[in-house]
Structure 1
């Protein structure tokens, strides 16, 4: 049986419980490293980044809200953001390659449209049943494969696929 990740996070958040952190670290650090390596990081960079993600979990545990995301989704979102930061640092242009002058202003209608669409998506996600919302968050915000979600949750792969398909259908309907 899988540990109660939310209870462990709350113990870290509320009591700075090192044993609870150790349990979270033991489970999630290797998975975060694997996720980072799958997304193109070499083993050393993935290891360093996974350590940084878990340090962030400890330092920012007070920001975890179980009503907004599962523990896995929260951790993998941190990992995804760290990976993006790493890529930005790696791809930072040399000063002579930087364009001169101000960046063009984005089209305001497009910005407003994206903001409205994002707000609609947030509301549609809230309307999903918790089981479906959790799977959508793991798949799309946690960048986990359906097989990884199945092994993480202990649910059969067919159940994962069905719930995600139902959730996506419901999201399409809610966002019309």
Structure 2
């Protein structure tokens, strides 16, 4: 057995101890090894030190709380941790692009024209019909992603499907919806 294979087995054993016994010593070792690496990874991807620290902390909390979701047959511990880190970074970027409450307009908005209301209702009905016409597997993922406001990794954790399958199905579903709405 190579050193790399031995190290992988050790990390899997640590996650198993966290999952089965909430072993704080195993978590402390994983944290000491991976937290600085996750922070460095995030900083290399453009996050400032503060955000990288926050996301790294969040990733490690996820490891503690969701150790039961780790499947050594699908990925190594490091791959799993860095995938969570990448997804948390994407989530953080999305939050940064949302308007802050002070950026939103105050006071009553002008009433929309009756024509706009009818158009909006027709488009909403067409979209609902297009979603209903999707294959069940694609419809379920679209509903989880957009109505349930779940990230792709959260959907993968809930469904047990590989992340690539989730992304492919959502991409295909969105393509079908675009064509249906033309």
Q: Which has the higher contact order (CA 8 A, sep 6+)?
A: 1
**Which deviations, in whole Å up to 9, do the C-alpha atoms of 1:8-31 show, x marking residues without a partner?**
111111111111111111111011
Q: Does 1:45 align with 2:46?
A: no
Distance 1:78 1:14 in 2: 21
What is the TM-score with the length of structure 1 in the denominator? 0.54
- Which has the larger Rg? 2
How many equivalent pairs are there?
116
Q: Does 1:31 align with 2:73?
A: no
Q: Superposition RMSD on alpha carbons, in Å?
A: 3.3
Deviation (angstroms), 1:67: 1.1
Counterpart pick for 2:78 among 72, 77, 81: 72
Counterpart pick for 2:14 among 8, 14, 24: 8
DSSP 3-state at the match of 1:40: coil
Q: How does 1:1-176 map to 2 (within 5 A)?
A: 1=3, 3=7, 4-93=10-99, 94-95=103-104
Distance 2:86 2:94 in 1: 12
Deviation (angstroms), 1:95: 4.0
Distance 2:90 2:51 in 1: 13
What is the TM-score with the length of structure 2 in the denominator? 0.52
Distance 2:72 2:13 in 1: 10
- Mind listing any 5+ residue stretches in structure 1 that lack a counterpart? 116-136, 141-176
